[in-house]
Amino acid sequence: MAGKNDDKVKKGQIITLSYESRDFDVIVIDPNGLGRNQPSIGFGLRMMSKHGGIPEQTLSDWVTIESGFEGDRLNEFKVLKVPSGKAFKVTDIIGLDNNPYIVLEVSEWVLVAADVLKTPGRVGKPTRNNIVDFLSWFAVKGFYADAYALLKGAYTEADSRAVSAWMQVRLAGISLRNKYTQFLQVQGCEEWHDYANWTNYIYQGLFGMKKADMVKQWEVVEGIKSIGRNHIPEIEGLEAVAYCEKQVIDLFHEDLKQSHDDAITFAKKKFKLDF
C-alpha cells in the first residue's frame, strides 16, 4: 500500500508542461522553494537551448565553479556566467529518472535571456532574435494571467486556452503579414499609405470598416447586426485577415485589385462573413 506522502512533490521530479503549444520538461528544484508545498521549478540547459535559442554548448561553456561564503562556511558552487559578467547560481540535480541535470529556476532563465540581449558578447544576431521571441512569448501569458486574476478573481484553464489560441493566431499572422507586405512591395507599393490602403481594403471587404475602427470596437458585443464585429470574435477575425492576405498572394495574376476581391470573396465564405 502506498504511503500517505508518496504523492508529494519531490526534488528532481520532472513533469512535461505544455505551455503555448510548446512542451517543457520542468524540473522541481525545491519542493518548498516558494513557501510550504509551493515548489520552485526550473529548466535544464537542454530545455533553455530548445526554447530560448541559446545553443546548449554555449550555455554549458558559461557554467563555471566558484567559491564563496554561505553563512560562515566557504563552499564551492556552480554558476552560469553570462557575457556581461553576471553570474546566476545553478543547481546540480539527479532527476527521478536518474539522469543528471544542471538546473536554473524559471524566472532566472528570463533574467539570463534579458541580460544576454543587453550584453550579447559573441552571441550572434540569429540567436538574439530567438531570445527576443522567447521573452515576448513568455511574458504575454504571465501578464494576462495576473490581469485576469485581478479582473475576474481567478485565472482559469478556459482563460489559459483562450489566451493561448489568441497568441498563436497573432504569431502566425505576423509571419503571413510579413510575406504579404513583401508581396505588395514587389507589386510596386513603396509608401506606408499604400500598405495601409490595401489593409483597409481587406478589412472593409471582410468586416465593413477600416482596420483602426475594427480594432477599436472589436470588444463590443452588442450593436448593429450589419457590423462585422458583432458576428466574429477577434481570434476568428485575425484568422480571416491572415487567410485573406495569403489568398491575395496565391490568386494574384497581374491585377492586384482583382486578387484582393477574389481573396475577400473566398475568406467571407470560409469564415461565414456574409451578413
- pLDDT confidence of residue 72: 62
**Whole-angstrom Cα distance, residue 181 to residue 197?**
12
pLDDT at res. 6: 47
How high is the pLDDT of residue 198? 94
DSSP line for 188-213: T--SHHHHHHHHHHHHHHHHSS-HHH
- Can you give the pLDDT at residue 64? 92
What is residue 232's predicted lDDT score, i.e. its pLDDT?
72
The answer to whether the beta carbons of residues 168 and 162 sit under 8 Å apart is no
Neighbours of 72 (CB within 10 A): 5
Q: What pLDDT score does 25 carry? A: 85
CA distance 176 to 160: 24
The Cα 206–Cα 273 span in angstroms is: 7
Residue-level pLDDT, tens digit, the chain, 275 residues: 334 444 578 899 998 876 656 677 889 898 888 667 778 888 899 988 988 888 999 999 999 988 765 556 677 888 999 999 998 889 999 999 999 999 998 878 888 888 898 899 888 888 888 788 777 766 666 666 666 666 667 777 777 777 667 666 665 666 667 788 889 988 988 777 788 899 999 999 999 888 888 877 665 544 454 555 456 777 788 889 999 999 999 999 889 999 999 999 999 999 888 75
Strands (E), the chain: 14-19, 22-30, 40-44, 63-70, 73-81, 87-89, 91-94, 100-105
